Amino acid sequence: MILPRAVRDAVIAHARAAAPSECCGVLIGSEGAITSAVAANNLSGNPNRFLVDPADHIRASREARAAGLDVVGFYHSHPHSAAVPSETDLAEAWTYPNHLHLIVGLTGEAADVRVYRFTGEKFELEIADAGPDLDVDRG
């Protein structure tokens, strides 16, 4: 899995700007690579939850198709906890099996970025990174 540093940095910036509330967005790419992240409005009234605005999801899907890419997953932040899927994340992920879920944890000085693949039953860790640089193919 390839996560370019520019995409990672954009998601972290969105997470920090939205804190103390969670942010959310759509991941665009192809098999094996995330090529961009599209910020979405969080429609949840609860700062500890997220709900991707359907209009933003549709717009991102159309833009991805026009570029010959796909929606490969979603991202959100955990401003007050680790970048580990919560029970709520697990309960709500069932509609998108085999999609990626990038979570940004903001509890430390450096953002903790982790990418999981939802198998339809559980999250499997694909990338774990807490450092400033990431442009790695974890294959």
Question: What residues does each domain of the chain span?
Answer: 5-129
Q: What is the pLDDT of residue 109?
A: 86
Please give the DSSP secondary-structure letter assigned to residue 2: B
Beta bridge partners of 73: 27, 100
The tens digit of pLDDT for each residue in 91-108 reads 889 888 899 999 999 998
Q: What is the pLDDT of residue 31?
A: 86
Q: What is the pLDDT of residue 133?
A: 41
Q: What ranges in 49-103 are assigned the alpha helix state H?
A: 54-66, 87-92
Provide DSSP, 87-101. Answer: HHHHHHGGGSTT-EE
The tens digit of pLDDT for each residue in 23-58 reads 999 999 998 899 999 999 999 999 999 999 999 999
Q: Which CATH code is given to the segment(s) 5-129?
A: 3.40.140.10
Which residue's structure tokens are 């509330």? 21
Q: Quick check: 73 and 99 in contact, CB under 8 A? A: yes
Tell me the pTM: 0.90
For the sheet containing 100-105, what is the strand order? 33-40, 24-30, 70-78, 100-105, 112-118, 123-129
Cα 66 to Cα 3: distance, rounded to the nearest angstrom: 21
The tens digit of pLDDT for each residue in 61-91 reads 999 999 999 999 999 999 999 999 999 999 8
